[in-house]
Every structure is written in C-alpha cells, then in structure tokens.
Amino acid sequence: MFHSRPVNRSVVMESCGESLQHHQWIYSHVFDSFSRIQNYKCLIMAMVKEAHLHAIYMTDELKIAV
C-alpha cells in the first residue's frame, strides 16, 4: 500500500493540491524558459543582422579603396 494513513477525502484533496502546485510550477518554469529562449533568439538575430550590415559596409569600403 502506498499510503501510511487511511485514504479519505482530505488525503486525496491534499495529493491533488500538491500535484496542482507542482504542475503550476512546471508550467511557470517552462513558460519562463520559453520567454528567455525567445529573448535570446531576438538578441542573436539582432547580432547576426548587425554583423551582416558590418560585412556589407566593410565590402563597400574595400571596393572604394581599390
């Protein structure tokens, strides 16, 4: 038997409450992680765009120098 005490309504509700809190924590943690990933994705895309623009600028500078 899994329960050391008799299973009654309060034991079941307590288990459900703990489970609900755990699922809420998981949802919050996953949502927070997703938000961070989205923020990092935006930052990386901005850095790539900046590097691309810098490469175009440097290429244009080389064309002028030649």
Identify the burial level of 65 via C-beta atoms within 10 angstroms of its C-beta, where 0-12 means exposed, 13-18 middle and 19 or more buried. exposed
Chain-centroid distance of CA 46 in Å reads 18
Residue-level pLDDT at 4: 58
28/37 Cα distance (integer angstroms):
14
- What pLDDT band is residue 58 in, cutting at 50, 70 and 90? confident
Residue-level pLDDT at 8: 62
Token pair 């938000």: residue = 35
15/33 Cα distance (integer angstroms):
27
Which one-letter amino acid corresponds to residue 63? K
What are the tens digits of pLDDT across the range 6-50? 656 665 556 666 677 778 888 888 889 999 999 999 999 999 999
User: What's the predicted TM-score (pTM) here?
Assistant: 0.49
